[in-house]
């Protein structure tokens, strides 16, 4: 299992500002995933963050809007840039389970999420 | 893009009743998983079923998978008020380590 801490847990932001969300894992992991969950909706993958390389973004998400850092195997940040009310969502960090499931089985552990409200 | 569609979108039952949620997906999968989310918080993994499995049990949970129909169901038996949450199916596909989530079912268990 993995314990994931996300900061902030929630924030209210002004339009046009940027906010950086931090994700800390209690063990070293190869891949970290950032998901967005808009109000009442399901989860949509923003990007996959690998240590030592550029993040891989999904269709509809761009680095200028959602820059990601992955400085080591236990930490990542997601920045939501130039926010608008449409960015109001829960942003979730997740990692793949290691051990019994093995890499690639896809079982994920999630942080508690960062709930952003943009006014 | 969203892989799975779930139905019903919302389900309200009495404590002690069984709850069944269905998930359909579009492409070939390695495995299908079910997650629970309480009140917009983080997701918790419930159960994983591989593409070569047809049924799996874990406590009060029973999951079935029909790859010919590209569908899965999650049955929660003897439901409790604490089971109130949103439930999501998620699929893992070859060459893609990130999961693709379904639209979710909001379950309300009345005490």
pLDDT in tens, A41-95: 999 999 999 888 889 999 999 999 999 999 999 999 999 999 999 999 999 999 9
- Whether the CB of A108 is below 8 Å from some CB of chain B: the reply is yes
- Whether the CB of B44 is below 8 Å from some CB of chain A: the reply is yes
Chain A contacts of B97, Cβ < 8 Å? 31, 48, 96, 103-104, 106
- pLDDT bin (cut points 50, 70, 90) of residue A104 is low
Chain A contacts of B31, Cβ < 8 Å? 105-106
- Whether the CB of B69 is below 8 Å from some CB of chain A: the reply is no
What average pLDDT does range B36-61 have in this prediction? 93
Q: How many CB pairs under 8 A join A and B?
A: 67
The pLDDT score that the predictor gives to residue B3 is 59
What average pLDDT does range B13-37 have in this prediction? 94
Is a pLDDT exceeding 90 seen at residue A2?
Answer: no
Give the residue from chain A lying closest to B98, CA to CA.
Answer: A106
Q: How many other C-beta atoms can be found within 10 angstroms of the C-beta atom of residue B102?
A: 27
What is the Cα–Cα distance from A97 to B53, expressed in whole angstroms? 20
- Angstrom CA distances, B91 to A15, A32, B16, B35, stand at 35, 17, 29, 11
Interface test with B, best of A4, A42, A113 (most B CBs within 10 A): A42
The pLDDT score that the predictor gives to residue A42 is 92
What average pLDDT does range A12-32 have in this prediction? 95
The pLDDT score that the predictor gives to residue A100 is 46
What average pLDDT does range A2-17 have in this prediction? 95
Is a pLDDT exceeding 60 seen at residue A102?
Answer: no
What average pLDDT does range B52-65 have in this prediction? 96
Provide CB contacts within 8 A for B68, sequence distance 6+. none
Give the residue from chain B lying closest to A92, CA to CA.
Answer: B42
Most confident of A24-33, A77-86, B5-14, B38-47: A77-86
HSE-CB for A51 with a 13 A CA cutoff: 10
- pLDDT bin (cut points 50, 70, 90) of residue A31 is confident
- pLDDT bin (cut points 50, 70, 90) of residue B22 is very high
Most confident of A13-22, A28-37, A39-48, B87-96: A13-22
Shortest CB distance from A113 goes to which of B41, B98, B99? B41
User: Does the beta-carbon distance from B40 to A90 stay under 8 Å?
Assistant: yes
Is a pLDDT exceeding 80 seen at residue A35?
Answer: yes
The pLDDT score that the predictor gives to residue A87 is 97
Closest CA to A55 of A73, A74, A34: A34
What average pLDDT does range B32-45 have in this prediction? 91
């Amino acid at each position: 299992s993995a314990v994931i801490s996300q900061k902030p847990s929630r924030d209210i932001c002004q339009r046009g500002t940027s906010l950086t969300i931090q994700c800390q894992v209690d063990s070293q992991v190869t891949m970290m995933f950032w998901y967005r969950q808009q109000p009442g909706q399901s989860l949509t993958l923003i990007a996959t963050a690998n240590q030592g390389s550029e993040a891989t973004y999904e269709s509809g998400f761009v680095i200028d809007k959602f820059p990601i850092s992955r400085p080591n195997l236990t930490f990542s940040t997601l920045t939501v840039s130039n926010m608008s009310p449409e960015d109001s969502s829960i942003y979730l960090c997740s990692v793949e389970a290691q051990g019994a499931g093995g890499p690639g089985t896809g079982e994920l552990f999630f942080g508690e999420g960062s709930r952003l409200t943009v006014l | 893009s969203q892989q799975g569609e779930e139905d019903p979108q919302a389900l309200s039952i009495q404590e002690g009743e069984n709850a069944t949620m269905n998930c359909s997906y579009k492409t070939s999968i390695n495995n299908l998983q079910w997650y629970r989310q309480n009140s917009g918080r983080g997701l918790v993994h419930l159960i994983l079923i591989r593409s070569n499995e047809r049924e799996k049990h874990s406590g009060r949970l029973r999951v079935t998978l029909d790859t010919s129909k590209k569908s899965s169901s999650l049955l929660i038996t003897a439901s409790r008020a604490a089971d109130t949450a949103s439930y999501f199916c998620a699929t893992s596909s070859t060459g893609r380590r990130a999961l693709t989530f379904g639209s979710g079912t909001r379950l309300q268990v009345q005490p």
